[in-house]
Each structure stands twice: as structure tokens, then as C-alpha cells.
Amino acid sequence: MFPDGNMQILQIQIPETKDFDLLTKLGQSLEPLLNDNYALVCSGSVTHNLSKAFKDMGHLKVDSPPAPYAMKFKDELFELLTKSVRLNGKKFMDAAMGIETFFEAHPTLDHFLPLLIFNGASSQSHGVIHKENDVWSFSHLSMCCFKSQ
């Protein structure tokens, strides 16, 4: 994603909160760092259903094709992230949770919440979002990366 590798990285732990507007504001406050050659890596997972992955692990290969619900969720989430009118905070979360397969893709929110920070940081001057590294593990775990430029 960063072939030159010449950027600063600051690691922070996100607050344990369901205040979706707060997480978006955190991203917006970090957005100016992107102009100073910092990378903002919001590590979560686009789909993260570990119970299905563990259940199927015995008969799936690590590189098995994605489960239909997981692929559908990833595609609809990318559509939501790239809409011409960007949603933030609670409005973004309401729209994401409105995706039919949201709770199948994310039985818990912990691996989804970093996306609110990313969305906040990329919603202004770094608004063009690209998919990168569209890799899957055990059909249920998307390792897809979204990059904002």
C-alpha cells in the first residue's frame, strides 16, 4: 500500500465506546496528519464471523472462496463508503447496520468500529477510497484494505 515505506506511524487504541459520532470525530481530528506523510491504519476486519470460520475450518482451506453473505456485505460496504454523499458517525453506522448481512458479517462490533475512524479521516480532502489487498481467509474473514487518497 505504501511502496516507498517513508511514513510515520502512530499506534493508538480506540476507546471502547458505541458513540459512533465520537469515533468519526476522532478520525476527523487525525485527518490533517495524512497531509504530513503519516499513515492512518485502522485495523479491524471487513467481515469477521469467527464462529462460522472456526466451524468450517475443518473442511475449508485458508484460501477458500468467500462465503456469499460475506462477499455481499463487503461489496455493499464499499458502495456505502464510496457514495457521493458521505455519511458519518451514527448515520454511517445506521446505514451499515441496514445492510442485510451486517450482523452475519459482524456478530460483534469490535472489528468494525475502526472503520468509523477511517471514514472520518477520509471524508474531507482524502475522500477517494480504493479497495486494495482483497484477500479472504476461511471464507468468512475478509482482509480487504480500503485506502483513502
Q: Is residue 140 part of a domain?
A: yes
Q: Is residue 67 part of a domain?
A: yes
Residues 6 or more apart in contact with residue 30 via CB below 8 angstroms? 40, 117, 120, 121
pLDDT at 73 over 90: yes
Query: Measured between alpha carbons, how far is 19 from 101 in angstroms, rounded to an integer?
Result: 22
Alpha-carbon torsion (90, 148, 99, 134), positive or negative = negative
Residues 6 or more apart in contact with residue 108 via CB below 8 angstroms? 48
Domain that holds residue 88: 48-148
Q: How many domains does the chain have?
A: 1
Q: Is residue 36 part of a domain?
A: no
Q: Is residue 94 part of a domain?
A: yes
Q: What is the 3-state secondary structure (H, E, C) of the chain?
A: CCCCCCCEECCCCCCCCCCHHHHHHHHHHHHHHHHHCEECCCCCCCEECHHHHHHHCCCCCCCCCCCHHHHHHHHHHHHHHCCCCCCCHHHHHHHHHCCCCHHHHCCCCCCCCHHHHHHHHCCCCCCCEEEECCCEECCCEECCEEEEC
Q: What is the mean pLDDT of the chain?
A: 84
Q: Is residue 12 part of a domain?
A: no
Q: Is residue 4 part of a domain?
A: no
Q: Is residue 33 part of a domain?
A: no
Q: Is 10 in contact with 41 (CB distance < 8 Å)?
A: no
Instruction: Give the pLDDT confidence score for residue 124 in this predicted structure.
Output: 65
Q: Is residue 30 part of a domain?
A: no
Quick: pLDDT tens for 28-68.
998 888 777 777 777 778 898 888 888 888 888 888 899 99
Residues 6 or more apart in contact with residue 110 via CB below 8 angstroms? 44
pTM over 0.85: no
